[in-house]
């Protein structure tokens, strides 16, 4: 049996005594808020489309990551304009002509209109 009396809780430890374990650390303090936070990347992935012109416009969106929100509109409008122009250019490019239905020689009936009678 141990007759030792526990030390009272209201007594302070001896300043010369060594402590077991790591020294106490102060709780981390939140950073001082001196105004609005600066621009931070949104981290939105930009997946390549395979079309170099479109991919260049999509990559331009990364410029908004380095601007304050009031500068985003200019980037978005520029990208929108570029993508719209790229789509318009697709409509304007001449593509392969659609296959015309087969027609016979002028003045002669076409082969499909020829009827065999027995």
Q: What is the pLDDT of residues 3-55, one digit of tens each?
A: 666 665 555 655 565 566 566 666 677 666 666 677 777 777 888 999 999 99
Contact call for residues 68 and 37 (beta carbons, < 8 A)? no
pTM assigned to the model: 0.46
Q: At 24, list the tokens.
A: 């106490």
The residue to which tokens 């409008």 are assigned: 77
Per residue in 77-96, pLDDT (tens digit) is 999 999 999 999 888 767 66
């Amino acid at each position: 049996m141990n007759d030792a009396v526990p030390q009272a809780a209201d007594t302070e430890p001896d300043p010369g005594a060594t402590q077991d374990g790591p020294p106490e650390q102060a709780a981390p303090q939140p950073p001082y808020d001196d105004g609005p936070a600066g621009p931070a990347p949104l981290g939105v992935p930009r997946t390549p489309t395979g079309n170099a012109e479109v991919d260049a416009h999509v990559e331009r969106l990364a410029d908004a990551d380095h601007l304050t929100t009031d500068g985003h509109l200019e980037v978005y409008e520029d990208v929108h304009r570029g993508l719209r122009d790229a789509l318009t250019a697709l409509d304007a490019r001449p593509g392969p002509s659609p296959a015309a239905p087969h027609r016979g020689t002028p003045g002669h009936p076409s082969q499909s209109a020829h009827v065999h009678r027995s």
